């Protein structure tokens, strides 16, 4: 198995874990929303019984689940999905951009959620590095996939 496939599999596994963590937040409730950085407002909504946090987390989990399938498809683990290279490139761009702009956005934005996250800058920095690394897995894996097809 070549390095491109390994990177896409690693990216897919980590993206799948992120999808499962979003589902776990729904099941874990308000404290889980707080711990995973969703913010106090989202935690309060979850504690009050609002469906908004669950729908939001479920939507993110579905998107991450689809991205997981695309990573595995690019690695040849599952059948080839439509627009494979283009979708993988787009996923890479999204992860890389989020990884790069995560810290500056928190520092520069003036909304309550950004202000709340400023108190958790280590969390913001660590998640940004993880997400940027995911982007590298998708980007390099996709470039290598492109070269062999």
User: Element (H or E) spanning 129, and its range?
Assistant: helix 121-148
Mark 68-94 as b/e (b = at least 16 C-beta within 10 Å). bbbbbbbbeeeeeeeebeebbbebbeb
pLDDT at 105: 95
pLDDT at 146: 87
Report pTM: 0.93
73, 15 in Cβ contact below 8 A? no
How far lies 111's CA from each of 13, 34, 115, 120, in Å? 33, 17, 6, 15
pLDDT 10s per residue in the chain (149 long)? 799 999 999 999 999 999 999 999 999 999 999 999 999 999 999 999 999 999 999 999 999 999 999 999 999 999 999 999 999 999 999 999 999 999 999 999 999 999 999 999 999 999 999 999 999 999 999 999 888 86
How far lies 52's CA from each of 23, 26, 96, 99, 146, in Å? 14, 10, 27, 25, 39
Distance CA 108, CA 112 (A): 12
The three-class DSSP label of residue 108 is helix
Distance CA 37, CA 34 (A): 5
In terms of Cα–Cα distance, which of 100, 82, 81 is closest to 139?
A: 100
């Amino acid at each position: 198995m070549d390095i491109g496939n390994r990177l896409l599999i690693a990216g897919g596994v980590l993206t799948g874990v992120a999808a499962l963590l979003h589902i776990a937040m729904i099941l874990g409730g308000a404290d889980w929303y707080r711990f995973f950085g969703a913010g106090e407002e989202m935690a309060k909504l979850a504690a009050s019984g609002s469906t908004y946090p669950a729908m939001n987390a479920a939507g993110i989990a579905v998107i991450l689940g689809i991205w997981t399938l695309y990573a595995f498809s690019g690695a040849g683990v599952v059948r080839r999905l439509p627009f494979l290279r283009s979708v993988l490139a787009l996923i890479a761009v999204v992860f890389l951009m989020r990884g790069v702009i995560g810290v500056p956005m928190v520092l520069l934005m003036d909304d309550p959620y950004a202000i709340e996250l400023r108190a958790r800058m280590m969390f913001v920095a660590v998640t940004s590095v993880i997400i940027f690394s995911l982007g590298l897995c998708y980007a390099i894996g996709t470039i290598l996939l492109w070269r062999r097809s």
